[in-house]
A and B are shown apart, each in its own frame.
Chain A
Amino acid sequence: MRTIIYIIQKEFLQIFRDKFMGKAIFAIPIIQMVILVYAATFEIKHIDLLVVDRDGSSASTELINKFRGSTFFTVHKKQLTENEIKAVLDEGTVDLAMVIPQKFEASIHRDQNAKVQFLIDAVNGTAGELALAYCRATVMSYSKELLIEELGFTQGVVQAIKISSRYWFNPNMNYKIFMAPGILAILITVIAWFMTGMNLVKEKESGTIEQLNVSPIQKYQFILGKLIPFLIIGLFDLSFGLVLAKLLYNVPFVGSLSTLFLFTLIYLFAILGIGLFISTISNTQQQVLFVSFFFVMIFVLMSGLFTPVENMPRWGQVINWFNPLAYCSRVIRMVLLKGSNIHDIRFEMLIMFIYGIVTNTLAVWRYRKTS
């Protein structure tokens, strides 16, 4: 036990003496929580909409005004030919174009089969689809008004079934509240994983590992001595990130924080085991970085932070069983936004515990004092 304390003491001395590392522990959470939460949003604002009005009627003007009145759209009205519209879309100066054909108003009154055409820049498919959804909603609302006002339908007929929806756990669909816990999960993962991975292999590079290998330090003591400092730093960064999430985004803490910390402790144990295992099989910091990037990238993109896990193909979901970040981002959101308790997350805790036992056992096994 004393041996482990001596190792931990030495690690902390080295971490805080390192000009970069000592600051990174504070700087990384601030930067990620401020920049990424704002940037990683699904909301679309200020869609640049090109409007080509070939009708010039009062009906078309009214429809255009509907778009003008919405905060989602910035309307650019121009008279362009089909080819010119395509050119403008290619340039990317507008996100989508709406073409109101001739006799738009006339057809509303005559055969109730008026058409508008939308042309979308779908390079960013998700954004394009969302933009079209907004457009559709705007046109539909105008169409409803027409039915009631011009054609004398009653409100009841137009809206035979009204869908009433309420978003639970995030009632205002505030993306920041959704993203902040996810970013926090990435944050502690990356800090813990990379710091511990780099730390062990640094001893290999400087040759001090040989001096430790020839000492009576036992393998489990060595691994624990390398693990505990970064466990503490990870938990510290979780607290720090939570404070930022509260101050900056007023993220609700519906569940108990002790539940969250308990889960994170187990989760970090698993993540640190991965970092240590990778560094026991690597000889240089470059190797650790390369292998770590490979896995972190997969873990982050598949974690369900940016795309719903449910949309992945079956095999993708199976891979995700082995993705610790998927469990972590799910649990942080569950506890913070939904108020889940230990009983609700027992499955995730058990999986992460087993994960940690496996990765750390691998690390201890693969660390060789005698070759």
Chain B
Amino acid sequence: MAELQTRTEPVITVKNMVKKFGGFVANDNLNFEVFKGEIFGFLGANGAGKTTAIKILSGLSIPTSGEIKVAGFDVYTQTELIKRNIGYMSQKFSLYEDLTIKENFRFYAGVYRVPQKEIMPRMMDALAEVGLIKYKDRLISDLPLGWKQKLAFSIATFHNPGIVFLDEPTSGVDPVARRNFWEQIFKTVQKGTTVFVTTHYMDEAEYCNRVSIMDKGKIVALNSPNMLKAAYKVDNMFDLFLKIVR
């Protein structure tokens, strides 16, 4: 992946972000910036605090303390403005199983205020991109998981958000489907969208411009994959991860 040498303006700024659930500290003083047009990865084991962080950034959860801005808006007071400017796809599957592909597109596009006339033509374009046009009247429940994930991503980015948050989008699918999914992500980034993705697959970390590695609620490393590998003298992300987290 090409590394971002010339930094554009930050679209997410996080300063001293803390989130506590009772006595448990899920996010312990996180600091980072995400720049426009990059793929920013959050890497960590289950329970490291990735989902907590992504929920705060997408306006689903209010942090305990810290200064956080997403797309220029404050996460305490402007969550609804954030929501208009982002896309979100979670590990828990979010399309309506009892609706068809077309009905899901129409509903979510309507909710995001895509003009009515544009919905159907743009849906056909999006379906053409993932090669599913002829299945547009199939129920989601009848589709394989890999297709559902592609569709969920298409829908999450249908209203052309500036930032899209992906929370472990590829968990549970085979390597080929995962690779296809990432092709879809690259196309979206080329249009200027910023992608914030959490994963626990090390090969996916290689696809990111920059990754931050989380462990027990803290960010323990943050840089481009190549810089990290060089700094820790390892030749792949898997070894890197083991070295850092242990």
Instruction: Mark A residues whose CB is within 8 Å of B.
Output: 2-3, 5-7, 9-10, 13-14, 17-18, 206-208, 210-218, 369-371
Contacts and interface: CB of A to CB of B under 8 A. Distances in A.
B125 interface: no
B79 A216 contact: no
Contacts, number: 78
Contact of B83 (A6, A13, A206, A215): A215
Interface residues of B, number: 29
Centre residue among A207, A218, A370 by max chain B CB count within 10 A: A370
Given A210-B94, A214-B86, A3 B111 contact: yes
Contacts of B129: none
9 contacts: A2-B110, A2-B113, A13-B98, A14-B98, A206-B96, A207-B92, A207-B94, A210-B94, A211-B108
Contact of B79 (A5, A207, A217, A370): A370
Contact of B58 (A5, A206, A214, A218): A214
Interface stretch (B32-40, B59-67, B199-207, B208-216): B59-67
Given A14-B99, A369-B79, A370-B59, A212 B111 contact: yes
B112 A216 contact: yes
Contacts of B107: 6-7, 9-10
B103 interface: yes
- Tell me what chain A mostly uses at the interface: helix, strand, loop, or mixed: helix
Nearest to B96: A208
Contacts of B86: 214
Nearest to B75: A370
Centre residue among B88, B93, B96, B99 by max chain A CB count within 10 A: B96
Contacts of A206: 96-97
B84 interface: yes
Given A211-B90, A369-B79, A13 B113 contact: no
B116 to A, nearest CB: 8
B80 interface: yes
B96 A216 contact: no
A310 to B, nearest CB: 48
B106 interface: yes
Contact of B98 (A5, A17, A211): A17
Contacts of A7: 107, 111
A34 to B, nearest CB: 31
Contact of A371 (B61, B88, B97, B110): B61
A216 B111 contact: yes
